[in-house]
Amino acid sequence: MKARSFVAVAILLLASGAFVTSCGSEDKRQVSDSSDKSGEGGAEAQEKNNSGDSGGGGVFPAARATATIKGHVVYDGKLPRRLKTPISGEAFCEKCYPDGAPVSARYEIDQATKGVRWCFVEVLGADTKWKFEPPKDKLKLDQVNCRYAPHALGIMTGQTLVITSSDPIDHNVHFFGKNKPAWTNRIVHKGQLLKVVFKRPANEKYKCDIHGWMNAAVYVRSHTLYAVTDAKGAFTLPKLPAGAYEIKVVHEKWKKGETQTVTIGDGETKDITLKIKK
C-alpha cells in the first residue's frame, strides 16, 4: 500500500509539474507580447481581420445627416449617496488625492441638476438600418492617478482601443465581457501601449485588480451613433438624417435607463431629457 501511495503521489506531482511548466511557457509568450511597446503585437494583428457585425441596408448617409439630437440624462428619484472611491493600500494613489478620495465614478451625479455622468446614450437599431465603417482614429483608455480616464467610452467593432498608463506604478488591465480578445489580463507599465479590437457589440468592462477601485466601462457597438454624458449629464449625438429614432440610455450602475422615441427633421436640433434610475 505504501508503495502504491508513493506511486500515486509521484504521478500527481509529475502531472502537476507538466501543468505548471506549460503555464510557465505560456507566461513567457505573454510577456514577450506585452513588451511590444508599439502595441502592434501578433495577437492584436489577429483581431484586425474582423470587420465587426455591421449589417442592415445601405451605408450611413453622412452627407444627409444634418439633424442634431442632444440633451441631458438625469437621475430619477431620490439621489443616491455619493460613495467615495475606496483608495487605500498604495502610497502613490493616496498621494494623488491629498484632499480625500474622489466620488466613485459610478456615483458621479451633479447634485444641482441631477445630471448623471458616464452614461452611454445611443440610437437603437442604427446598425440594422445602415452599415458603418469603423473609424480610423484610435481611442485611448489611459490610467491616470489610479483611475481610468475616461471612465466610460463608446467604441465601434473593428475600431482600435489603445490602453495605456501614465502612472509610475504598475496596473493590471483585466477584461470582463462577452468578447474574446487576444489577451484578458496583463500588467501595464508606464507608457506601454496595449491594443484591442472588439469583434462583437456588448457592454464590456476593464478593471485593475491591484487597485480594486479602478474600473472602466466600454460600450462596444456596430455603429457610431452614440455619445457619453459629461459631468452635467449632457450629451450630443452625432448628426443624423431626418427621421424617427429610438434613443436609449445605459449606465453600468443604474440599470433602468429610459428609451425615448424622437422624430426630427433635416437641420433641426432637438433637446431631450432621458431619465435613469436604480
Partner 1 sequence: MAQQRRLTLQQGSGTGRTGGWSHPLAFGSALLIFVMIVAGATVTTIGAGDSDPAWSWRFWEWFRSASGGQFYELLHRQIGTVIGFVAIGMVVSLFRNEERRWVRRLGVVALLMTIVQGLLGGLRVQAVSSPAWRDFLCNLLGIGHEGVRMTLAMVHAFNAQLVFCTLVALAVVTSRGWRGGEQPSETSEHTRKTRRLAMWACALIFVQLVLGAYVRHGRVLYPGETAPYYNLVLLLHVCMALGVVGHIFLVNSHTRASHPKIFPVWHLAGLAQFLGMFQLALGAGAWAVTQSGVTPVPWDVAMLVRVLHVGNGAAIFAIFVTLGARSFKLLRLGAPEQAGLPQGGRRTHEVASKHRNRP
- Judged by the rule CB under 8 A, the positions of this chain that interact with partner 1 are 1-2, 5, 8-9, 12-13, 16-17, 19-21, 23-24, 26-27, 30-31, 43, 81, 83, 86, 88-91, 93, 169, 172, 174, 176, 178, 180, 182-187, 205, 207-212, 215, 252-253
- Beta-carbon contacts of 88 under 8 Å, excluding residues fewer than 6 positions away, are 94
Angle at 95 between CA 88 and CA 205, to 5 degrees: 55
CB of 16 to partner 1, least distance (A): 5
Closest approach, Cβ 63 to partner 1, in A, equals 39
In the complex with partner 1, the residue whose CB is nearer, 140 or 186, is 186
Q: All 3 cell numbers of residue 224?
A: 457610431
Calpha distance 40→124 (Å, rounded):
33
Q: Give the residue with the Cβ less far from partner 1, 209 or 268.
A: 209
CB of 106 to partner 1, least distance (A): 8
The residue length of the chain stands at 278
In single-letter form, the type of residue at position 173 comes to V
Residue closer to partner 1 (CB basis): 46 or 269: 46
Taking the complex as a whole, the smallest distance from the CB of residue 201 to partner 1 amounts, in Å, to: 15
Q: Report CA 62 to chain centroid distance, whole Å.
A: 26
Shortest reach from residue 19's CB to partner 1, in Å: 6
Q: What is the rounded CA–CA span in Å between residue 39 and residue 104?
A: 30
Nearer residue to partner 1 within complex by CB, 1 or 112: 1
How is residue 140 written as a grid cell?
A: 485611448
CB 151 within 8 A of CB 85: no
Q: How far is the CB of 262 from partner 1 (least distance, A)?
A: 28
Name the strand (E) or helix (H) holding 274. strand 269-277
What's the rounded Cα separation, in Å, for the pair 41 and 272? 43
The Cα 13–Cα 5 span in angstroms is: 12
CA distance 251 to 237: 16
CB closer to partner 1, 8 vs 59: 8
Q: How far is CA 177 from the centre of its chain?
A: 10
Residue number with CB closer to partner 1 (66 or 203): 203
Q: Decide whether 28 or 136 has the Cβ nearer to partner 1.
A: 28
In angstroms, give the least distance from the CB of 118 to partner 1: 12
